[in-house]
Chains A and B, each alone.
Chain A
Amino acid sequence: MRGATQAKWAMAAAAVALAATACGGNAGSGSGSGSNAAVDPKGTFSYQSSEPQNPLQPANAMEVGGGRIIQSIFKGLVDYDPATGKIRNQVADSITTKDSKTWTVKLKSGWTFHNGEPVTAHSFVDSWNWSANVKNNQINSFWFSDIKGYSDVHPDKGDPKSDTMSGLKVLDDHTFTIELSAPVSYYEYKLGYSAFSPLPKAFFTDPKKYGQQPIGDGPYKFVKWEHNKGVTVAAYDKYAGVDKPKNGGVFFKVEATGEAAYQELLSNTLDVMDLVPASALATYKTDLGSRAVDQPQGAIQAISFAMYNKDWQGKDKNLVRQGLSMAIDRDTITKTVLQGSRQPADSWVPPGVAGYKAGSCGDACKYDPAKAKELIKQGGGVPGNKITILYNADGSHKEWVDAVCNSIRQATGVDCTGDPKPDFKTARDIITQKKATSLMRSGWVQDYPLNANFLKDIYVSGADANDGGYSSPEFDKLAHAADKATSIDETVALYQQAEAQLAKDMPSIPLWYYKSTTGYSTSVQNVKYDSFGNPVFTQVEVKKK
């Protein structure tokens, strides 16, 4: 589906914000400090965050600041196991379907909201109907667009015809069905997104007040929100999920810059880092020792061609695109300029995501200046012998864009310059209006760890995030078949075939996968990160003072 996550928005918009980190479930490994210090189960810790830009409602958090807090306060039907990335049931007892179109959801009993109200089928259905309603201005309402009857509550123009989506039916307190307008074989993966969280009755009486003092059903309950300072949450003792908190709570501390946060980490005034700033990448492993974290993330950085521009159309232009890709020395750039914070890409789907296929990009992602020159010549050369890479200057992309350009220029003689736009919204405006002429940065952070998310949402003709305007009948056919599949395995396999088509057409150049390069203070241990780049809050252990 459409999929930007909080991460990309943050990377973009937040002040001096650094690179990507997503919002989401859990999963992952990470280096434990292995210390034997006594653990204080009531101890609390602080985490590098930013001021939530919207009231704290599940369907309205698009940026990272509010997104993570919401994920700690709410728990939906399913989430992703932090260790394996596999989907696992939380409030849901089972989610079943026969045709990938109608899904039956059974809930566990025993789940309660922080105010004691039990979580029922109504808590979900009412929440989704409210969030999808165009009158309520929820940023995440598009997440419900698969559900039948969405256009009744969310018409393109005018007032909604109905308050409820016809696809949602409550059978009893613990059972409801979801009917989609078209089959989506992996729909349960989407249900892990925080927009699908349940809401208590208290929400509907005064949404505005609720947004300042949310009540959820997650591992942590909301305590207070001190604007521009931070949000405090505390462990919820009646939490019914499998991941009970091992600590007393979290303080989501507002940090203006990554540099400031890192300085605080070094002086132990901040406990858990979101992301080490670029300025500290060279030293953080020495600074932090075993408390440094370096592990893969479900996110990729790529540069896309403006395929809607005549310059990039034509039968053999794919050779030129492949040639340009081969002119980029990914290994050296990730080692030097990016200081090991990225892993060179050889496919369009990052490792750790279900359906990752190593080497699907083939030789085109291997550095070979001689072959690169040859291919570009064969394909008729780059128009004007000049390319530019459009990016937003507020997301620390300059260094690598410059390095990619230097690499292309020196390998092929094609003149390449970065084309920075002052901020994310300016760059997005140019890209969405299809006014970019050459190449543009196009990162993607997973919404859910499945290859479909990295392929369908970006490369299907007319897809919302298809910034380059790529359109291939072969790719579309495979994606369509994959959505109709009856098992996840079949879906994954069909999308892998679609990915092979990308290697032929090269509508975008995969550069590298993101890694979580971060760390934590001496007051905590067992800090692990999931494939979204979030720390697994519930597992963090606070040492006794």
Chain B
Amino acid sequence: MGRYVARRLLQMIPVFLGTTFLVFMMVYSLPGDPIKAMFGDHAADPATVAHLKHQYHLDMPWWQHYPLYVWQLLHGDLGQTFGGVDVSQVLSQAFPVTIRLALLAFVIEIVVGLGLGLLAGLRRGKVADKLVLVFTLLVISVPVFVIGYICSTVFGITLAWTTPTVQDSNNLGQLLLPAFVLASLSLAYVARLTRTSLVENVRADYMRTAMAKGLPRRRIIVNHLLRNSLIPVVTFLGTDLGALMGGAIVTEGIFNVQGVGNALYRAIRASEGPTVVGIVSVLVIVYLISSLLVDLLYAVLDPRIRYA
């Protein structure tokens, strides 16, 4: 177990380097000159451009810049945005907001998604099952920005239950609506996965054995059925936490949440290499750790799985 965790932690190093390198390269390959674009519609002044490029190390080829970037990173220097703000400052402002939003969405996803999945799976073929199918289908087939606008208009203006956009990005109550929108797609996945998994496991031999032993229904469902059915759901949830944090570009934009998605969008649009790589690095770490935790959870859920 200890060795397994150590090995996985070691493997994070190449993944981390690989991701930062790839993302770094991609930002470099984006078309357009971010420094010249700062000048708007008029021609960029060559002397100022040259000075600014030198300041941001954009005058060196990527194979010199990347090692320099990693070297600075190891010394805790994440670089600066084109506006002269430290990237570490950008991260420390955006992540707390996004973590709140993502956790809220995560809880909604678990509670509602699992609930719907259980309902559909245990009542397979009944009306409840069909309703859940229709609901998940709708959510999956309508693009998130459409759901976002509709929710913002309906709950924020027509019903006026809340403000159409978030006023204070640190206020949990205000984050509720965007969290629901953000969670909607994952929620549909969780519901469908749970249902599929339940339906398969209901027919498993151990279920028949448990029933034959005359165990109470409640115990069968919780101890045998759920425990075995949750593995795929847990895997999904584990990887989804990372996705929720990095993947809120559209939702954060619609609801004016000043989190990671917004910062990432701006940085990509401005070809701001250090900011993009900085954000992605943190996301990758979050993701790697949560996927490690998921793998460890397997062992808890499925006694047959052992890590040597």
Contact = CB atoms under 8 A, between A and B. Distances in A.
Interface of A: 2-6, 8-9, 12-13, 15-16, 52-55, 62-63, 134-135, 137-139, 141-142, 154-157, 208, 211, 227-229, 254-257, 259-261, 263-264, 266-267, 269, 394, 421-429, 432, 442-444, 457, 464-465, 467
19 contacts: A4-B41, A53-B38, A62-B39, A63-B40, A134-B48, A211-B84, A228-B258, A261-B165, A261-B256, A263-B152, A263-B153, A264-B164, A425-B33, A425-B34, A428-B32, A428-B36, A443-B41, A464-B43, A465-B41
B167 A269 contact: yes
Interface string B3-44: 000000000000000000000000000111110111111111
Contacts of B305: none
Contact of A155 (B41, B47, B84, B163): B47
Contacts of B36: 425, 428-429, 432
A426 B43 contact: no
B95 interface: no
B270 A13 contact: yes
Contact of B165 (A15, A229, A264): A264
Contact of B269 (A9, A13, A269): A13
B52 interface: yes
B160 A267 contact: yes
Given A53-B82, A53-B83, A156 B39 contact: no
Given A2-B42, A263-B157, A429-B31, A154 B47 contact: yes
Interface stretch (B102-110, B118-126, B222-230, B247-255): B247-255
B89 interface: yes
Contacts of B136: none
Nearest to A264: B165
A15 B253 contact: yes
B74 to A, nearest CB: 25
A6 B33 CA distance: 18
Given A263-B156, A263-B164, A425-B271, A256 B41 contact: no
B43 A465 contact: yes
A137 B51 contact: yes
Interface in B78-109: 81-85, 89-90, 93-94
Interface of B: 30-34, 36-48, 50-52, 55, 81-85, 89-90, 93-94, 149, 152-153, 156-157, 160, 163-165, 167, 169, 252-258, 262-263, 265-266, 269-271
A326 to B, nearest CB: 27
Given A15-B262, A15-B265, A62 B93 contact: no
B80 to A, nearest CB: 11
A15 B45 contact: no
A394 B164 contact: no
Contacts of A53: 38, 81-83
B3 to A, nearest CB: 44
A429 B255 CA distance: 32
Contact of A425 (B32, B89, B93): B32
A4 B42 contact: yes
Contacts of A432: 36, 43-44
Which 5 residue pairs of A and B lie closest in terms of their CB atoms, listed nearest first?
A4-B40, A263-B164, A425-B32, A425-B37, A4-B41
Nearest to B50: A157
B30, B37, B46, B149, most chain A CB atoms within 10 A: B37
B164 to A, nearest CB: 3
Which of B43, B46, B89, B257 counts the most chain A CB atoms within 10 A?
B43
Contacts of B149: 259
A263 B90 CA distance: 26
Nearest to B82: A53
Given A4-B40, A55-B83, A260-B165, A157 B265 contact: no
A444 B41 CA distance: 8
Nearest to A431: B41
A227 B93 contact: yes
B253 A256 contact: yes
Contact of A260 (B38, B81, B256): B256
Contacts of A457: 42
A135 B270 CA distance: 23
B19 to A, nearest CB: 23
Contacts of B84: 54-55, 208, 211
A2 B90 CA distance: 33
Contacts of A62: 38-40
Contacts of A426: 30-32
Contacts of B44: 432
Nearest to B265: A15
B262 A139 contact: no
A387 B177 CA distance: 46
A15 B269 contact: yes
A206 to B, nearest CB: 14
